[in-house]
Chains A and B, each alone.
Chain A
Amino acid sequence: MTELTRPIRRLLGRNRDTPAASSEVPASHVAPIPTSEEISISIDIAESDPLMAYLQAASGPVEIGRLELDSPAVRAMAQAGVALVVPLVSQGELIGTLNLGPRLSEQDYSTDDRRLLTTLAAHAAPAIRVAQLVRQQAHEAIERERLDQEMRVATLIQQQFLPRVLPALPEWQIAAYYGPARAVGGDFYDFIEMPGGRIGIAVGDVTDKGVPAALVMARTHSVLRAEASRSDSPGEILARANELLVPEMPARMFVTCLFAILEPPTGKIVLANAGHNLPYIRTDDGVVELRATGMPLGLMAGIVYEETEGLIAPGSNVLLYSDGLVEAHDPANEMFGFPRLRREMTVDDAGSDLLDRLLDTLRRFTGPDWEQEDDITLVTLHRAAGVADDLAGVADRASAAATAPIPAGAAASAGSTSLMAFSIPGEEGNERLAMDRVAAYVAGLGLPVARLERLKTAVSEAAMNAIEYGSQGRPEVLVDIEVETTAESIIVRITDRALSGTVPDDAEAPDIERKLAGEQKPRGWGLFLIKNMVDSMDVTTDGLTQTVTLTMAREEHSNG
């Protein structure tokens, strides 16, 4: 039935001025080749036009003049002089119509005419269907070629802007990998030489795919390079880049980007983050994240990006990466996830080995028949062991930076391990993004499938409420999401800006019988679903923001 979503164009043969000839069947009217006295016109029948359903159900020719349908197509046909419409149905599907003008004799179509037309339609419809399919396949082949060509152009653009040479630094090993998906995304990374021997490192991801994403990536790359030459502050570089990108960003697109400045001799790293994945550092104390939050580039002007500082101790690894790795799926549709990535980071090896090992792990995880869903970008930094360390307490400070408080949302609970925090633009549809990212973070924690699915639904519904009420659907008004785990539970906090006040706790519980009877609106299931999906839901507000906290036990209890 997908063909019916397209307008149907038909050949109409008619000749009102020619004296009608005596003919039982106006053969010239059904012939596909118009004579010099015929004209052909196009009549579009919209999918929603009631004539479409009428013809689908009709058992034979339909007289337009007798139809009492409120139908734009019927009016257009009548105006064009169509008298009789013969539905062409193949395998139960309406594939077209044969439109006839009045008989040349100006008499009504006879029963024999109709019978013959019905027979003709029954024979013609399968042949026309075959012709349609052949034409459709030809169009699809052209479309595939066009898409392939577009992807080749996107890849070319992408590759032009990736560094051809990696920085060679004493005592440091730097490795990078970029693997495009078939529908090339907008991933990028860059190394920029800065004054004082420092290195600027950018890793980013443009929403969308193909040439549009590649062009935005190219522009972002150029803007970051230009701004990095004017400032030595990652937060300032991102803020200035954002000001330049906002006015020219296409609708529904934005760029997540992490910008870090590394001081190789000391291992000091300062970074700012525009909504990108947080980098992992493996220290002697374990794997930690360097946290900084900020809105993705291109959404809204006037954004300030906070900076975080850390120190990379000798022997430590740093990983910067895009979503493509953690959101890869295995054949059973399980996500690679952040916990698995975190575990890989705990292995003590050199930086280049880390990159190879991650790719090996990914290949084993996805299996040989994997079709890569998204671009994958990995950048690893390894500081050689045994380098003289001028600064004491390196690991301690890196850990402290990694556990810096998150500006938005509630503070971490005592005794819990905060896994991650991110923000989504407050625009309809992004609840799916929130759900997928939370699912990626908790993948590998051993949550039973049923509980994972319930958590996903609860997160999606809570994020949808936050977008609808907290952000009023405005993409520049962010929704903050934080995930924590304890030994027993997964806790998700969803904080919105409460632009419409607090989330209305449905005054009236949803009642299916009343909804079916039209006494209650069909909507209004959101909070009901959340409450039924998780073990607890709490709502708190500080006057400016509202936080919905969802708690899900990691194991099913007898009462849960």
Chain B
Amino acid sequence: MRKTLLKSAVGALALSLALPVTAAVAADSIYVPLFTYRTGPFAGSGTPIADGMHDYLTMLNERDGGIGGVKLTVDECETGYDTKKGLECYDSVKPKNPVIVNPWSTGITLSLIPKASVDEIPILSMAYGLSASAKGDIFPWVFNPPATYWDGLSEILKYVGGGSIDALKGKTIGYLYFDAGYGREPIPMFQALAKEVGFTLKLYPVAPANMQNQSAQWLDIRRDKPDFLVLYGWGAMNPTAIKEAVKNEFPMDKLVSIWWPNDADAASAGDGAKGFKELNWHGTGTNYPALADIQKLVIDAGKSQTPKDEIGQVLYNRGVYNSVLIAEAIAEAQKIAGKKVVTGEDVRRGLENLNIDAARLKAIGLENFAVPLNTTCADHNSHSATFVQQWDGAKWVKVSDLVGPDTARVEPLIDEAAKAYAEKNAGWPARTEACDNK
């Protein structure tokens, strides 16, 4: 049988399809692919992020003609939060010389980390991905600012402990988490802290397939009555958890989440969700000149898919923040490399020299938008402080000062994890990239 006649026919067809795509990018623009997911079970979280990332970069093109006078070619690739499709996206954008990739999924990030140094494309996994990649000397091509999940956990515990984790002695703390790499990563640290400080830790894993069915976990939570409940959820898991908390009359101000729940997640649970808290490091709302420019030049001009009330939501602004990092890295890269059309290697150097302080934020029209960020060759994360914001039924209200991470506890964990990663992946390349820090 000519078993693969169809195969080769499809192959030839696909080959002819794949080729024209590769040569489309003009030489005088900077290619920034955005991996997004507007479909699938995580679309609820993915869509506002995709809109925010897309709109800020488009706004730069419209307002400033790109960065440093060079237009950005912004291109979305739909991953559906699926690792296989993410890799397909990566392979499809690679021939177009992307200067940076944003995987927006821990699974895709893990697959791309080993490729980054070989393909010379830096990875920006903003506050997700592999926590250990904060170590720039082991992961020169991977960046996860502004804080890791371990930082986030220590910040939540410090906050509920009233400024010190040690105050939690004798309490019971619940941990409701997405049972995959992301939610599981903080557990060893959580357990070590429970032992050291002397609080009781109760784990409530939610399997990815059962994100919208958490009744079993909440039955346990009702029984255990934890003093505080820490939530690490994503996609459809967040609104479900908040709804269940309301249904089970769990005191909302005792439910503190990592930075991922969006406005819509809290709003979907109705008035009962009032008092729900989460970490954040950037502003919500639209009261910033840059966001006004987005409204005027991008959304009103019909160059975006953003629905009217989405701008200003937590995850929309998170997407904007992600693009601010991209833009700042490119601008910094242009400065360091002394040329306008930068490459992935230049942007890597830019990402290592980010210094987004209050003055810089003001200059780009985002005064008081975010906490300062400072990366170095050794520190690809900046381990920023975050604040706690509370849902008042219609918007988020900032209810705490900045809470910094428990560096003394987080730092050794990151060192150890980074070392273990390099050891387990025999032949992990030693850093040869030069450092531009002054």
Partners in one complex: no
Chain B residues within CB distance 8 Å of chain A? none
